[in-house]
Chain A
Amino acid sequence: DGGITQSPKYLFRKEGQNVTLSCEQNLNHDAMYWYRQDPGQGLRLIYYSQIVNDFQKGDIAEGYSVSREKKESFPLTVTSAQKNPTAFYLCASSIDQGPDTEAFFGQGTRLTVV
């Protein structure tokens, strides 16, 4: 069953800690994305990757880091430098070229700072 799997569903972080959110896809998509969603806000792009071992900053990359060592995986690390990390994090993937470039989303990780 093809799709995108995010884990964990809920994550609690103490002040000053780094945490890593997992995102795996088996859709054979080249491109993967991380978005952040806050109440009353649209989805904002954190990082994206169009090919293995390469990624680009989105609109709100400060305080986050990513890696893309495998086509299927695009983990996001929320570092202690991110001042307001409490949010709903969404991972997505899509084909990169040609038609039908709609993005498919995982079910999200809700991160709370305690």
Chain B
Amino acid sequence: EDQVTQSPEALRLQEGESSSLNCSYTVSGLRGLFWYRQDPGKGPEFLFTLYSAGEEKEKERLKATLTKKESFLHITAPKPEDSATYLCAVQAPGYSTLTFGKGTMLLVSP
């Protein structure tokens, strides 16, 4: 059974204080690992897909990395508008469905 564990559950940062979110996964093979951002009361917004260990992708202040067992979402010099819940999901080979973690709620204070 595919499993995704995200840590920490919640993270509070000061504006400009860089940090990382963790996503550990167990899946029989990996078709893709996905990061989403979700604002309160809204649907998740797609951020990145990572396919193989060693891969990295960046978007503004966010950088996602992937190893064989986990992925990190690095947030550099965050701003209050980065406050959201960040969701990680995995996709197994031959399937289009996603298995999600419970998310990390990020709060960035000015």
Contact = CB atoms under 8 A, between A and B. Distances in A.
A40 B49 CA distance: 24
Given A42-B4, A108-B43, A102 B34 contact: yes
A106 interface: yes
B79 to A, nearest CB: 24
A42 B101 contact: yes
Interface residues of B, number: 22
A101 B49 CA distance: 9
Contacts of B36: 105
Interface of A: 4, 6, 31, 33, 35, 40-45, 48, 50, 58, 90, 92, 94-96, 100-108, 110
11 contacts: A33-B97, A33-B98, A42-B101, A43-B98, A48-B97, A90-B43, A90-B44, A92-B43, A102-B49, A105-B43, A106-B43
Closest 10 CB pairs of A and B: A105-B43, A42-B100, A43-B100, A42-B102, A107-B43, A31-B96, A105-B44, A108-B43, A102-B46, A96-B96
Interface of B: 4, 31-32, 34, 36, 41-46, 49, 87, 89, 91, 96-98, 100-103
